[in-house]
Structure 1
Amino acid sequence: MLFYDGRFVDAYKGHSATKHEGMLKNYFKIAWRNLAKSKGYSAINIGGLAVGMAVAMLIGLWVYDELTFDRYHKNYDHIAQVMQHVNFNGRLQSQTSNPGLMGPELRTKYGSDFKYVVQASWPGGHMLSVGDKHFFKEGIFFEADAPEMLTLDMLKGTRDGLKDPYSILLSASTAEALFGDEDPMHKTITFDRNYQVKVTGVYEDLPNNASFRNLKLIAPWELWLIQNPWAKEMQNPWGSNFSQTFVQIADRADFETVSAKIKDTKLNNVSEGEKRYQWQVFLHPMSKWNLYSEFKNGQNTGGNIRYVWLFGIIGLFVLLLACINFMNLATARSEKRAKEVGIHKTVGSHRWQLISRFFAESYLIVLLAFIFSLLLVIGLLPLFNEVAGKKIGIPWQNPLFWTLNLVFIFITGLLAGSYPALYLSAFKPLKVLKGTFRVGRFASVPRQVLVVLQFTVSVMLIIGTIIVYQQIQHAKNRPVGYTKQGLVNLNLQDEIKDHFEVIRTELKNAGAVEELAACVSPLTSVWNTNGGFEWEGKDPSLGVDFPTNAVSYDFGKTVQWEIKAGRDFSKEFATDSAAFIINESAAKFIGFEEPVGKTLIWEGEPFTIIAVVKDILQESPFFPVRPTLYRIAPMSDMANLVLKLNPKQSTAQSIGIIEKTWKKYISDVPFDYTFIDEAFGDKFMAEERIGKLASYFAVLAVFISCLGLFGMASFVAEQRTKEIGIRKVLGASVANLWRLLSKEFMLLVTISCIIAIPIAWYYLTLWLANYDYRIAISWVVFVLAAVLALLITIVTVSFQAIKAALANPVDSLRDE
């Protein structure tokens, strides 16, 4: 080693560019030899850093995907959705639905503030037929300016393709599914079984991080009005909210100013009686649709932005944990490398040269770790995308990606190498070479602080993962008010409505179902809400808006709802056509002590309450059930069919019988069904994704911390080899030696738990406050996390501790 050091010194006496290049080359050559000489230490450092960098890179790609949401649209900074604040049921709520006249009104009265105003339907499934090909595709009805406003990338045709009411724009994937390699332009498609429309354009499928990514077709708004003539025939067109409105503000306009101008647009058009709802129109910019989508009491309270911050912080912490490993192990080996530093200084090396050497070693480790991290990211990205519900790719061609990685490497190398470089290069050569150098009684304090920091982060992640899991399970186990098992939902078609009783009899006789019924809103969502309700004792100034579901007579029997008071709907009572069954929340809100038999006035017509049923959970499982009313309506109003499968027959057999019956009456509509319990499970998708990602990152953080702990335990065991040998000779048992080597690490992890628990409790309490239906954090969680952290520590440290304790003391004592 001394020979190379001498050559090392000679090589750096000149200051020419060539000698500087040689100096740099030698730095990395010596750094490589040091890594090769300490293979275990190098593996822990490079492996830990690679995992940390891979996690940070995956999180960085996820965060970038979230922050660039909707940037596909070139007018992203000027597009907004028209929303309304409204006082419903004594609470200020925010909604995206608007009257059909909102668009024309904004164009007429505030035209100079907008470049485009576009009225739209709600996205939904539509049937497309070409020959014997039939597909259900999600689509939307837009006014003609929408493609230009959204700057759709047209592969065929132009953005003016919606001017004809019987035209249609298709996504590239939909056009391929319908026409294969044929040119789809000007071809005719049967739309929703009743309308012949012509293909006037094909647009590129929108990216996964776009709000309209699922739209596979766009039809003209005028066609929606043709399909729904009631929209033009309403006596009170401003009183009903059934559409969406999107705008692009003028180039020099700003959202706040325009929002202030249009604030009273609806309030100025509704009747005096409806002014009690206190409508306030405002613009919600596209830049906030994804990250700031939540409103509470009229205020924007955030949304996915909390997860961007959460995972961004986790990514930084995981990378920091990996850097801590490097710093810890490098400083822990300082005594071993003290003589090396002393010799370098004795033969003329300056401190800056030594600092450069240590940084070269640091950057070599970081570069190697970066290469391995890229390989890890390539391998893990498909799984990561599946868990996160993304379609993220590595942007190899993006200069920003490589710029960020270079900055990433520079900062990581600097962060990981700074402390060891500055610390080791400060050793006094005279003391080191005379053998009088001691690192000092407090030299291990920085390492101990870093270990505490590592496990503080790890314990917080463990606690967070447990709480997220408990919150999801809490909501999953929430009573839903009906029996989910064996329930199937089908979209109703006219042929089914026309033969409903015959089909019901056929399916029951075939043993496929126990019961079936029709309804407007499916069991897992609310499609309709209504106002205009009055009752005895109601505050005249109170504006109400209740979810209302029109159902057939056997609905309650099919879903097996729980009647708390009164009776179910029955064909034996002709008066049930003017009756309501209300849920418990409605009974509580209305305030009747004995609601059965009382009267509700709806739009001037009296309805009798005949029953109170247990709350049926149709919306978010994390929030209260709204006051809901159920009524009997004609079959023509229905949109969904609910079937209770026969539990005595296999599900596959029952579905087969239902499909056969379906095709008997409908030959050109694909048989498409949904299990209610699966649809209910989809409500937890966002939270489950966050929980899974958090748990994976927590496991990786603990793994990185354990790598560092393993390396530290290995070093301590090596450092105390002679002490252990002497203690064994004097009669110390393996258990005593294990306790001696483990107690320091156990103490450090205990301190970590003490620090982590209150911090985790504070931030998790804030997170749970976003949910009305939530768990109470139990002290058991903190005890469990602490015990788990200590067990992990014991397992990690014990291998090295027991290995050292079992070593032959003769070998350790004669090793000089």
Structure 2
Amino acid sequence: MLRNYFTIAWRNLYKNKAYSFINIGGLAVGLAVAMLIGFWIYDELSYNKYHANYDRIAQVMQHATFNGKVETQTANPAAMGPEIRDKYGSYFKYVVQTSWPGAYVLSVGNTHVSKEGMFMEPDAPAMLGLHMRKGTYAGLKDPYSIMLSESVAKSLFGAANPVGKMIKLSRRFDVKITGVYEDLPYNSWFRDLKVILPWSLWLIDNPWAKTMKNPWGSNFSQTFVQVADNVAIEDASARIKSVKLDNVGKEEAKYKWVVFLHPMSKWELYNEFKNGINTGGEIKYVWMFGIIGIFVLLLACINFMNLATARSEKRAKEVGIRKAVGSLRSQLINQFFAESYLVVFLAFLFSVMLVLVLLPPFNEVAGKRIDFMWANPLFWIICLAVLGLTGLLAGSYPAFYLSSFQPLSVLKGTFRVGKWASVPRKALVVVQFTVSVTLIIGTIIVYQQIQHAKNRPIGYDRSGLVSMGVDKEVRDHFDAFRNELKSAGAIDELAGSNSPLTGVWNTNGGFDWEGKDPSLAVDFPNSNVTYDWGKTVGWKVKEGRDFSREFATDSSAFIINEAMVKFLNFKGSPVGKILKWNDKPYTIIGVVSDIMAESPFYPVRPSVYHINTENTYNMVLRLNPAKSSSQSMAQIEKIWRKYVINVPFQYEFVDQQYGSKFESEERIGKLSSYFAVLAVLISCLGIFGMASFVAEQRTKEIGIRKVLGASVLSLWQLLTKDFALLVLCSSLIASPIAWYYLNDWLSGYDYRVAISWWVFVIAALGALLVTLLTVSYQSLRAALINPVKSLKSE
């Protein structure tokens, strides 16, 4: 019997090829979208799960009240790790202090490579649960040791065992390779960790960290912990809450430090803090795309239900004959479910093919490295559940509706579906286009928000700017290097600073000024720059003047940004006023436009700039516009190599650095737009099928109207009017839904676009236009049929 069900189902599908293509194709696209979204969500939810103890690992973070607001930071002082280990050691299995990630040059013979790494305390490999290929977890106990990832070891030593061999680190230290670990997966927070170095070597290289007068006064390291097996992260976090506040002086206590643990399980999805409260993060996109995936799959199911019920009159006689010869209603239900599950199965096969084709470009857009989960049993269990539910959902209404026909009325020819029979179909079409229009509106708003931030004034001219790190040899001969580049005509100007132009690496407190509230604790971005910084980046001086070598007093001068002017709230011009820093007076000599150094979606922080030619770790070069970029960079590399030997030449254009600030939003925008297009495509497939049915159903009516003198235009209007009304109804429902959720999304940005009424109009008109184009083919085809053929009886 079961075989008979599927044989008849196959014959029906083969007989109605266009209908089958629409059903299978639409469902395949829906399943493929749901599968891709499912892969993306699984990857997000499994972030950091590579680390065996990820649910017990946490990062030590701090809340502090700066400038009247609670800020959250990951940087810790030198004393944080030892203090937690000494006083609260029973609550932790491991306490690991680390540096920030950085690029380090590894040299073996004539081979020199630059790889990202971190200095870490000896317990780091055990805490992270690294999969050791060679060596042991104990490899970092020797200060002059190093651990390499498997890929780096292979690039330097091939198939040979590198453990025990010596390697030159940053052309300064000879270190011994004590371990090789498996490369970390792409969905690990430490995925770029290719080199691990001992924290003790960092202390040797930075002796000031041990001799600081106030080891709690400067935040320059990170601290990670693994809580003890019998301790909850929340309990351990509560214990160390006041660890910093208990060890700082009266002035430092004004910042109201609160130390807490942020679990590794929340680093990816719950990484946003506002005013000291965790407000979520990427988790909102997990929910958003999960809902989109469900709705896109639902759209495909709606197509199947609509087309199956629309064809009810064609299959009415089949049902009547089957019932007349003794078929039970349950057998008819089983027959229609067999057709449903056959469609679902075939659609699933095509969806797998689609996913295999689309996965590489999807990974590129999503910024992922997802593989098809052939060997994951959870994937197949979910697939079976989804297929079962989809087949049931898509086939239930046709099965129960068609099997309910009365054989007597059907075979006598008196069967009529009734004037209300089309209402469910119309309601489902409205649901389809409500989802599609909502996604279209969302795509437009996301694009607007990105463009709004991109068009925001950034306070400098980034065209032709190149950013580079400063090696010791260049730092020691900075002026000579600059002059040689200018003489060669490669650059117009060059300047250095302690932070890159598109980031803030240094903030300071200890500022005081006339009229300041004594209880106010402040912390401002404080950039050390060389004299030609303003000229190089092209900042806009609004008041006063730029730094100049002609004024010896500029070594005790500040230039401040417009945000700082508002914060200081001086009466009159701030130029000439005194701003104290650690009790040393600095004269404000100029005001510049706010420079967009951090997120373009949030306000620019009050910032200060001062001259310091020693702490130069980054430099910005403005290329000569009279030469091509490739020519200039070739000259720069040639001169650079005269000073720096055996180090890879690395640089980045500032406009690329700035563009990376939009990566997350652009990624979400692209994914949303692709899903919106697919949702509209699926909806249009359904509309196309429905239009085909309506045109076929009204063939004789159209013939009579043509005989009576109806024009092609009037017939087109007759056939498209109902669909247009349904789409407009969908737009009216979608608009408030989209406004509510998009307004909530935009509220997460301080600098955001306003939602305009025309967005909803454009989305509605776009959906209407696509619908009319889809329906018009069938409508015009029906309207152009010779009435002699359409009125001819059997």
* Cα distance in 1, alignment partners of residues 167 and 660 from structure 2: 32
* Cα distance in 2, alignment partners of residues 595 and 44 from structure 1: 70
Counterpart in 2 of 1:390? Answer: 368
Write the letter of the residue equivalent to 2:190: F
Counterpart in 2 of 1:104? Answer: 82
Aligned counterpart in structure 2 of residue 322 of structure 1, from 300, 313, 330: 300
Aligned counterpart in structure 2 of residue 269 of structure 1, from 243, 247, 258: 247
Counterpart in 2 of 1:604? Answer: 583
* Cα distance in 2, alignment partners of residues 465 and 483 from structure 1: 30
* Cα distance in 1, alignment partners of residues 338 and 793 from structure 2: 32
Aligned counterpart in structure 1 of residue 739 of structure 2, from 749, 758, 761: 761
RMSD of aligned residue pairs (Cα, Å): 0.8
DSSP 3-state at the match of 1:160: helix
Note the C-alpha offset of 1:496. 1.1
Bigger CA drift: 581-590 or 497-506? 497-506
Counterpart in 1 of 2:611? Answer: 632
Is residue 675 from structure 1 mapped to residue 656 from structure 2 by the alignment?
no
DSSP 3-state at the match of 1:527: coil
Residues 240-297 of structure 1 deviation map (CA, whole Å, 9 limit, x = unaligned): 1111110111112112221111110000000011111000011100110000000001
Is residue 714 from structure 1 mapped to residue 681 from structure 2 by the alignment?
no
DSSP 3-state at the match of 1:239: coil
Residues 696-726 of structure 1 deviation map (CA, whole Å, 9 limit, x = unaligned): 0100000000000000000000000000000
* Cα distance in 1, alignment partners of residues 103 and 604 from structure 2: 27
Note the C-alpha offset of 1:601. 1.1
* Cα distance in 2, alignment partners of residues 242 and 599 from structure 1: 29
* Cα distance in 1, alignment partners of residues 730 and 763 from structure 2: 11
Counterpart in 1 of 2:456? Answer: 478
* Cα distance in 2, alignment partners of residues 188 and 564 from structure 1: 55
Aligned counterpart in structure 2 of residue 244 of structure 1, from 196, 217, 222: 222
Is residue 297 from structure 1 mapped to residue 312 from structure 2 by the alignment?
no
DSSP 3-state at the match of 1:268: helix
Residues 534-567 of structure 1 deviation map (CA, whole Å, 9 limit, x = unaligned): 1110011111000111000000000010001111
Write the letter of the residue equivalent to 1:30: I
Note the C-alpha offset of 1:490. 1.1
* Cα distance in 2, alignment partners of residues 245 and 723 from structure 1: 78
DSSP 3-state at the match of 1:70: coil
Is residue 53 from structure 1 mapped to residue 31 from structure 2 by the alignment?
yes
Aligned counterpart in structure 2 of residue 797 of structure 1, from 763, 767, 775: 775
DSSP 3-state at the match of 1:211: coil
Counterpart in 2 of 1:615? Answer: 594
Counterpart in 2 of 1:661? Answer: 639
DSSP 3-state at the match of 2:649: coil
Aligned pairs for 1:415-814 (under 5 A) are 415-592=393-570, 593-634=572-613, 636-814=614-792
* Cα distance in 1, alignment partners of residues 642 and 80 from structure 2: 44
* Cα distance in 1, alignment partners of residues 499 and 453 from structure 2: 22
* Cα distance in 1, alignment partners of residues 513 and 8 from structure 2: 87
Counterpart in 1 of 2:58? Answer: 80
* Cα distance in 2, alignment partners of residues 505 and 100 from structure 1: 39
* Cα distance in 1, alignment partners of residues 161 and 453 from structure 2: 49
Is residue 95 from structure 1 mapped to residue 76 from structure 2 by the alignment?
no
Note the C-alpha offset of 1:182. 2.1
**Count of residues paired in the alignment:** 793
Aligned counterpart in structure 2 of residue 313 of structure 1, from 269, 291, 304: 291
Note the C-alpha offset of 1:124. 1.2
DSSP 3-state at the match of 1:184: coil
Aligned pairs for 1:222-237 (under 5 A) are 222-237=200-215
Aligned counterpart in structure 2 of residue 207 of structure 1, from 156, 160, 185: 185
Counterpart in 2 of 1:170? Answer: 148
Aligned counterpart in structure 1 of residue 389 of structure 2, from 391, 395, 411: 411
Structure 2: any 5+ residue segments left out of the alignment? none
Aligned counterpart in structure 1 of residue 353 of structure 2, from 366, 375, 391: 375
Note the C-alpha offset of 1:812. 0.9
Write the letter of the residue equivalent to 2:678: L
DSSP 3-state at the match of 1:125: strand
* Cα distance in 1, alignment partners of residues 678 and 72 from structure 2: 40
Residues 178-225 of structure 1 deviation map (CA, whole Å, 9 limit, x = unaligned): 112222111111112211111100110101111000111111111111
Bigger CA drift: 682-691 or 503-512? 503-512
* Cα distance in 2, alignment partners of residues 193 and 462 from structure 1: 55
* Cα distance in 2, alignment partners of residues 549 and 233 from structure 1: 24
Counterpart in 1 of 2:5? Answer: 27
Aligned counterpart in structure 2 of residue 39 of structure 1, from 6, 17, 22: 17
* Cα distance in 2, alignment partners of residues 511 and 517 from structure 1: 16
Is residue 360 from structure 1 mapped to residue 348 from structure 2 by the alignment?
no
DSSP 3-state at the match of 1:732: coil
Note the C-alpha offset of 1:815. 3.6
Write the letter of the residue equivalent to 1:154: M
* Cα distance in 1, alignment partners of residues 359 and 793 from structure 2: 49
DSSP 3-state at the match of 2:370: coil
Residues 566-616 of structure 1 deviation map (CA, whole Å, 9 limit, x = unaligned): 111111111111111111111111111311111111111111111110000
Write the letter of the residue equivalent to 1:803: R
Write the letter of the residue equivalent to 1:611: G
Note the C-alpha offset of 1:498. 2.1
* Cα distance in 1, alignment partners of residues 328 and 231 from structure 2: 62
The two structures have a TM-score, normalised by structure 1, of 0.97
DSSP 3-state at the match of 1:395: coil
* Cα distance in 1, alignment partners of residues 145 and 359 from structure 2: 40
Write the letter of the residue equivalent to 2:438: M
Note the C-alpha offset of 1:157. 0.5
Counterpart in 1 of 2:257? Answer: 279
Write the letter of the residue equivalent to 1:503: F
Is residue 148 from structure 1 mapped to residue 93 from structure 2 by the alignment?
no
DSSP 3-state at the match of 1:196: strand
Residues 758-779 of structure 1 deviation map (CA, whole Å, 9 limit, x = unaligned): 1101100000011111100111
Structure 1: any 5+ residue segments left out of the alignment? 1-22
* Cα distance in 1, alignment partners of residues 235 and 516 from structure 2: 38
Note the C-alpha offset of 1:302. 0.4
* Cα distance in 1, alignment partners of residues 423 and 586 from structure 2: 77
Is residue 218 from structure 1 mapped to residue 204 from structure 2 by the alignment?
no
Note the C-alpha offset of 1:677. 0.3
* Cα distance in 2, alignment partners of residues 178 and 133 from structure 1: 7
Note the C-alpha offset of 1:729. 0.5
* Cα distance in 1, alignment partners of residues 644 and 178 from structure 2: 29
* Cα distance in 1, alignment partners of residues 75 and 645 from structure 2: 35
* Cα distance in 1, alignment partners of residues 243 and 607 from structure 2: 29
* Cα distance in 1, alignment partners of residues 99 and 642 from structure 2: 32
Residues 670-710 of structure 1 deviation map (CA, whole Å, 9 limit, x = unaligned): 11111000110011111111111110010000000000000
Note the C-alpha offset of 1:795. 0.1
* Cα distance in 2, alignment partners of residues 251 and 530 from structure 1: 38
Residues 129-161 of structure 1 deviation map (CA, whole Å, 9 limit, x = unaligned): 111111111111111001001100001111111
The two structures have a TM-score, normalised by structure 2, of 0.99
Counterpart in 2 of 1:11? Answer: none
